[in-house]
Chains A and B, each alone.
Chain A
Amino acid sequence: GQSLEQPSEVTAVEGAIVQINCTYQTSGFYGLSWYQQHDGGAPTFLSYNALDGLEETGRFSSFLSRSDSYGYLLLQELQMKDSASYFCAVSDDSWGKFQFGAGTQVVVTP
């Protein structure tokens, strides 16, 4: 089976940097994904790591260390619109079965 842990909530001010950690235990691993979900909305894809290292997409970056079963999402230059829930997700070797973390609520204050 698989399990993921991420913090339940993070609060930061506009313009700050936030790091959301995700640790996982899996019986098989294909990659680590990150999704954003605003209240009442559908999850939207942010980033994906299959290999160790940093992936950068604009203000968002994601990191993976397969040997440590650990990854993080870095949100830079925080904006009010970044207030949302962020989920990490891992897939097993088939790239079909997914498990999501419980989500991290990011609250951005003025």
Chain B
Amino acid sequence: EAQVTQNPRYLITVTGKKLTVTCSQNMNHEYMSWYRQDPGLGLRQIYYSMNVEVTDKGDVPEGYKVSRKEKRNFPLILESPSPNQTSLYFCASRLTNGDTQYFGPGTRLTVL
């Protein structure tokens, strides 16, 4: 089944404890992206990657890191999480010239 998977789906952590949210897609998509969703603010793009080893900042990259070493994986790294990073996170992928972004199921992160 063609899909985007994220792990973990739920995470409660404490301020300053480094964490990684994984994202993987099995559709051979070149483009991948991370978003965060907060009430009343819609989806805001954190980072995106047009292909392997190519990443760019979205609108809210502060406090996050990404890497794209393989085509299928695009992990999101929070080196020192803070409470303002408590949010619902979505990973998405699409073909380079495709119009459809396919979203993962989301990761609900709480930073205490």
Contact = CB atoms under 8 A, between A and B. Distances in A.
Interface of A: 31, 33, 35, 41-45, 48, 50, 87, 89, 94-103
Nearest to B43: A100
A48 B100 CA distance: 8
21 contacts: A42-B104, A43-B43, A44-B103, A45-B100, A48-B99, A48-B100, A87-B42, A87-B43, A94-B50, A94-B56, A96-B48, A96-B50, A97-B45, A97-B56, A97-B59, A98-B48, A98-B101, A99-B59, A100-B42, A100-B45, A102-B42
B105 A42 contact: yes
Contacts of B104: 42
Nearest to A88: B42
Interface of B: 31, 33, 35, 40-45, 48, 50, 56, 58-59, 90, 92, 97, 99-106
B45 A99 contact: yes
Contacts of A33: 99, 101
Contacts of A95: 97
A49 B41 CA distance: 23
Interface of B is mostly: strand
A102 B40 contact: yes
Nearest to A102: B42
B106 A42 contact: yes
Nearest to B41: A102
A70 to B, nearest CB: 18
Contacts of B35: 100
A98 B103 CA distance: 14
Nearest to A98: B45
A103 to B, nearest CB: 5
B99 to A, nearest CB: 4
Nearest to B96: A95
B42 A45 contact: no
Contacts of A87: 42-43
A98 B40 contact: no
Given A43-B90, A102-B40, A96 B99 contact: no
Contacts of A44: 103
